[in-house]
Amino acid sequence: MSTVAIAHRAGNSLAGLHEANVLGVDVIECDIHHHRGRLEVRHLKTAGPLPFLWDRWELASASAPRLGLQELLEADRHGTTFMLDLKGWGTGVGAAVSQLLHESGHDRPVMVCGRHWPDVEALARLAHVWPVLSARRPRELAALAHRLPGRSFHGVSVHRSLLDAEVVSRLRRHVPLVMSWPINDVPSIDRMIGMGVEGIISDEPAVLAEVLRRRGRPHPER
């Protein structure tokens, strides 16, 4: 399998969607939150009753306009393969995404990933959804060993700090695609590919461009 170039969080804005499509990546990832009955595309988290969104070193006003998943899908003009990263436990995000995809008639292939695996598995019932289980912590990686056998998943997405060649080899016995993030420098491409990782998830356009260059894929002018 050729190495897959995945633009991390590029789908969290329409500008990022456009830039990633111009670059010619294979998959555009976005973060999906189910908040007050609406599916929102954003990485920032809500802060309960406080009037802001936050993440580590970033704050934003909670009253700022928020991109919706339906708006993102309707804005796509390139037949983009999205990877929807489901956020939150117990929010009903999986069921809400399933309903939106069904009601909107979105029948192009879409990857769905997340660390709350029941939400991902619920969406796997849709024929055009490719389920991906994510692992960020050692205990989650250990749990994959019990979750994967005997089930059909498109792939796994595992934080780079958890991987070595032996771990990747074990994962590839059960899934066709092993992806890792964040791969944000060119030397890390060689390290990941050397382990057997086939999906490079990066925030850096230069890294994604290098993945595409190495496999001889031209950058389409879209």
Domain boundaries, the chain: 4-214
Note if the pTM is more than 0.85: yes
66/70: higher pLDDT = 70
Q: E-strand spans in 68-220?
A: 82-86, 110-114, 129-135, 155-159, 177-181, 199-202
pLDDT tens for residues 51-65? Answer: 433 344 444 444 445
Half-sphere exposure in the Cβ direction for 209 (13 Å, CA): 9
List, in order, residues 6 or more apart from 182 with CB less than 8 Å away. 8, 160, 201, 202, 203
Per-chain mean pLDDT for the chain: 87
pLDDT tens for residues 116-128? Answer: 999 999 899 898 9
pLDDT of amino acid 53 = 38
Burial class (CB in 10 A: 0-12, 13-18, 19+), 170: middle
Strand, coil or helix: 119: helix
CATH classification number, 4-214, choose in 3.40.50.11540, 3.20.20.190, 3.40.50.300, 3.40.109.40: 3.20.20.190
pLDDT of amino acid 36 = 80
pLDDT of amino acid 59 = 44
Q: Hey, CA dihedral for 122, 125, 128, 133, is it positive or negative? A: positive
pLDDT tens for residues 150-175? Answer: 999 999 999 999 999 999 999 999 99
